[in-house]
Chain A
Amino acid sequence: MRRALPVLIALLLAGCGGWQSANDPGGPVARDLQGLFWLFTITCGLVWIAVMGVLAAALLRRPPGTKEERERADRRSVQVVGGAVAGTVLIVAGLTLASYFATRSIASDNPHELVIRLRGYQWWWEVTYADERPDRVIRTANEIHIPVGRPVRFELGSVDVIHSFWVPNLSGKQDMIPGRNNSIVLTADRPGSWRGQCAEFCGLQHAHMALHVVAEPEEDFERWRSAQLAEASAPATEEEEAGKRVLEGKACAACHTVRGTEAAGTLGPDLTHVAGRRYLAAGMLPTTRGAFAAWIADPQSVKPGNNMPMVPLSADELQSVSAYLARLR
């Protein structure tokens, strides 16, 4: 037992930080929430310990013997219970006030927000960077880059069922409800890369609907943004050229867009710069050429029930299309 205890504690504390953790804030909103969390936890913990202490004392003490002692104990108990109830009311009111203050401090109306439209699909995220100039609007999927220090407003929508946008390191969650326009504002105050996950049960692959948020310094962000505006990289080898033809000729083009090719489908994620994203299939596979091949060869084994069909390709076609996709940074 004594040896087990440190192991237990180590296990419990393992990953207190982390890249999808509310305990490792990357921005002011998450930090406020963490502070509020510790206030509540310590207060509630002390209350629990106090109640357990009273219970233990009640069990251990000798009860009053004579009738007068009993009546005196009764009267005193009325006072003590009354006091305890008053204390409860005070604590509860205090925590409610703390909660209100936290809500106020989290809300922001900074006019220099970057606006990103996020639409939830079963089971991936469509990310659109808004801009007043239509030719500067960027559409990508599953990975969001934001500049450090600037508030970002996410306008949340859903195409099918209710999803929920949640990046715990940066902020609380907000549901994406079809027919409603929700929004959430968050800011990253240090560079980093964090994982978020859909937090409202949305069907067969709710477990695998993850996204990544990458916060970078302003110049890096602008550079990334300009790069996203460019069309798809041209194929450099014959294999990649063959892959491009496979993509345009087979079912891929019916659902996906690769700007600069004939593929202009809008049903699935935009693939123009897919190889520049860290993960495929909404956070399932790290982006490598092999991962492309594995995903395309049998998406239903990797993510059963998702809407990407298993397109029959020959081995050569699979090789070439994965080579081409790996070029699309």
Chain B
Amino acid sequence: MMGSRAMAWRGATIALLLLAGCKREEHQTRLDPPVAEALDAVAAMPNGISGRPPRAIAVMGEPYRSNAYQLSQGKRLYAWFNCQSCHADGGGASGPALMDGWWRYGPDPVSVFISIRDGRPNGMPSFRDALTTEQIWQLTGYVQSLGATSSTAASPNRNDAMQTRPAENQVPSMATLPSPPTAR
């Protein structure tokens, strides 16, 4: 009886400590410069599509995909650096839509990162000189959340602005869009 009670307490403590790895809410405002530099080390495929992500991302627990603060920073950068001028709020204008689940260069984060960092043919500018690597990863994570088929607890919410699209945590956003282009 005493033994099982003690076991229960021990189990609860362990569970609590595991939960302490709750990285979703952490506000990490500064990356050490070596880490920031390591984030640039993607090994891209020769066609510029997909590749191996930097190890630092896995070590950090993939914050750009699952951390609410990093996603909100990505959302801020999306507005600040005027991505809306070509991509609208994800629905696409002169640039392709980012919300319809169709990715010209593949859906994985490395492709998106390379698109933003190096630019792409037919009009996507390179942001290597305008953004730091960390910021490009924040944008990458955000863009991927735009195209997600399900929201997570870390997804950003609506902005305090005129509403032009459902919030990222209101899914499925794909359902409200016209269907993606068929194979070319």
Contact = CB atoms under 8 A, between A and B. Distances in A.
A, B assembled together: yes
Given A254-B81, A309-B134, A312-B36, A249 B30 contact: no
B33 interface: yes
Interface stretch (A27-35, A224-232, A279-287, A300-308): A300-308
Interface string B30-53: 110100110000000000000000
A18 B129 CA distance: 44
Contacts of B129: 249-251, 254
A178 interface: yes
Contact of B36 (A254, A255, A304, A310): A310
B9 interface: no
Tell me if A's interface is mostly helix, strand, loop or mixed: loop
Contacts of A300: 29-30
Contacts of A309: 131-132, 134-135
A120 B81 CA distance: 20
B147 to A, nearest CB: 25
A204 interface: yes
A267 interface: yes
A310 B32 CA distance: 10
Contact of B132 (A251, A298, A301): A251
A27 to B, nearest CB: 35
A307 B135 CA distance: 11
Contacts of A204: 27, 29
Nearest to B80: A267
A310 B81 contact: no
B153 to A, nearest CB: 21
B130 interface: yes
Contacts, number: 40
B130 A254 contact: yes
Interface string B1-42: 000000000000000000000000001011101001100000
A204 B27 CA distance: 10
Interface in A58-80: none
Contacts of B131: 251, 254, 309
A178 B160 contact: yes
A311 interface: yes
Contacts of B37: 312
Nearest to B30: A300
B29 A311 contact: no
A254 B130 CA distance: 5
Interface string B120-160: 00000000011110110000000000000000000000001
Contacts of B27: 204, 305
Contacts of A304: 29-30
A249 B128 CA distance: 10
Contacts of B80: 255, 267
Contacts of A311: 132
Given A298-B30, A304-B30, 20 more contacts: A250-B129, A251-B129, A251-B132, A254-B81, A255-B80, A267-B80, A300-B29, A301-B30, A305-B29, A307-B76, A309-B131, A309-B134, A310-B30, A310-B31, A310-B33, A310-B132, A312-B33, A312-B36, A312-B37, A312-B132
Interface of A: 178, 204, 249-251, 253-255, 267, 298, 300-301, 304-305, 307, 309-312
14 contacts: A204-B27, A204-B29, A251-B129, A251-B132, A255-B80, A298-B30, A301-B30, A309-B134, A309-B135, A310-B30, A312-B33, A312-B36, A312-B37, A312-B132
